[in-house]
Amino acid sequence: MTTTVVTGGAGFLGSHLSDRLLAEGHRVLCIDNLITGNLANIAHLEGREDFRFIEHDVSKPLFVDDEIDNVLHFASPASPIDYLELPIQTLKVGSLGTHNTLGLAKQKQARYLLASTSEVYGDPLIHPQPESYWGNVNPVGPRGVYDEAKRFAEALAMAYHRYHGIETRIVRIFNTYGPRMRPRDGRVVPAFIDQALRGEPLTVFGDGSQTRSFCYVSDLVDGIYRLLLSDEVEPINIGNPREMSVLEFAETIIEHTGSRSEITHKPLPVDDPKIRQPDISKASALLGWSPRVELEDGLASTVAYFEKLLAAEAI
């Protein structure tokens, strides 16, 4: 049986990834310190023989007795609000956490997959962003703690590959949404859906002309799984190229939820990227991957999830 470690396994992406790995027949060791992860995301896996949860901060060394085939490093605060509130933890999990988990992969001769991010491109000067673009990151701005930690993590993974011969994979994840996002993690999808469902104004930052491209979580997980099985060592973008402005996205959410919410504007956060859209030609050519879920369908299940959370709150 293939055993796979997922750090951040109780988080939004980590828990969906764990579901997919279990469905593919893997045994999953889920590691999380629960600072932004949530046990509710893995409650449905409790009691399974092929699933184990270990509460641990991977910024500290970790020792696992089991044979391990894959280590997938997904632990990190991942929303701008989270990494503003947890700047040191964000830097540590991207640097020390990557070092510790690469050390685990080396000891176990396991394959390693790093969750990197479109944030390595910073406020990009090239559009859409191909993997060959080196980025435009402000190292000392408030987002620098996340961006630079992930850039360091990529460098470290490549060094372990080149120097120790570890089989490493790097996925650059673009904006992703779906059930199990935290309503108040500050990201635009949960923020707008939560506001629309409560009838509160949707908070568009700046004039809303900045763009993002939103990928549904099952598409993202499929791309990651294909990457894990592939031979590609260099980074690969996974994301949905359908780009829209934040203002357009706010209008879409209002329409989709049938909400009577209005739109209000708030100041644009420092270093907020003005444009973002993945160039996915590499994922398409090497992994035979492209996203399948339309925004409208992805939003339907995401909104249903948030409606359930709201209903539970009312009880």
Compute the least distance from the CB of residue 224 to ligand UDP, in Å.
18
Binding to ligand UDP by CB under 6 A, coded x per residue (else -) over 151-180, reads ------------------------x-----
> Which residue, 108 or 187, is less far from ligand UDP as judged by CB?
187
| Residue 188 contacts ligand UDP per CB under 6 A | yes
- Kindly indicate which of the ranges 63-71, 164-172, 181-189, 278-286 contains the residues binding ligand UDP, using the contact rule CB under 6 A: 181-189
* Interface of this chain with ligand UDP, residues 45 to 104, rule: CB under 6 A: 79-80
Binding positions for ligand UDP, 212-241, rule CB under 6 A: 212
CA-angle at 194, arms to 188 and 195, nearest 5°: 85
Candidates 234, 242, 244; CA nearest to 285 is 234
Contact, 113 vs 224, CB < 8 A?
yes
Distance, CA of 148 to CA of 230 (rounded, Å) = 26
> Quick check: is 160 catalytic?
no
**How far is Cα 250 from Cα 210, in angstroms, rounded to an integer?**
12
Q: By rule CB under 6 A, what count of residues binds ligand UDP?
A: 16
Report the relative pairing of strands 243-245 and 211-213 from DSSP bridges. antiparallel
In whole angstroms, the minimum distance from the beta carbon of 16 to ligand UDP comes to 17
Per CB under 6 A, does 205 bind ligand UDP?
yes
269 forms part of the interface with ligand UDP (CB under 6 A): yes
Q: Which stretch binds ligand UDP (CB under 6 A): 10-18, 26-34, 156-164, 267-275?
A: 267-275
Residue 115 contacts residue 82 (beta carbons within 8 Å): no
Quick check: 150 binds ligand UDP (CB under 6 A)? no
Selected binder of ligand UDP within 59, 210, 213, 277 (CB under 6 A): 210
Between residues 142 and 186, which has the closer beta carbon with respect to ligand UDP?
A: 186
Encoding tokens for residue 219? 């598409």
Residue from 146, 177, 216, 225 carrying the catalytic annotation? 146
Residue 70 or 175: which CB sits closer to ligand UDP? 175
- Does 203 help bind ligand UDP (rule: CB under 6 A)? yes
Choice between 29 and 188, CB closer to ligand UDP: 188
Closer residue to ligand UDP (CB): 108 or 212: 212
Q: How far apart are CA 251 and CA 306, in angstroms?
A: 18
Tokens of 136: 């435009």
In the complex, the residues that contact ligand UDP under the rule CB under 6 A are 79-80, 175, 186-188, 191, 203-205, 210, 212, 246, 268-269, 272
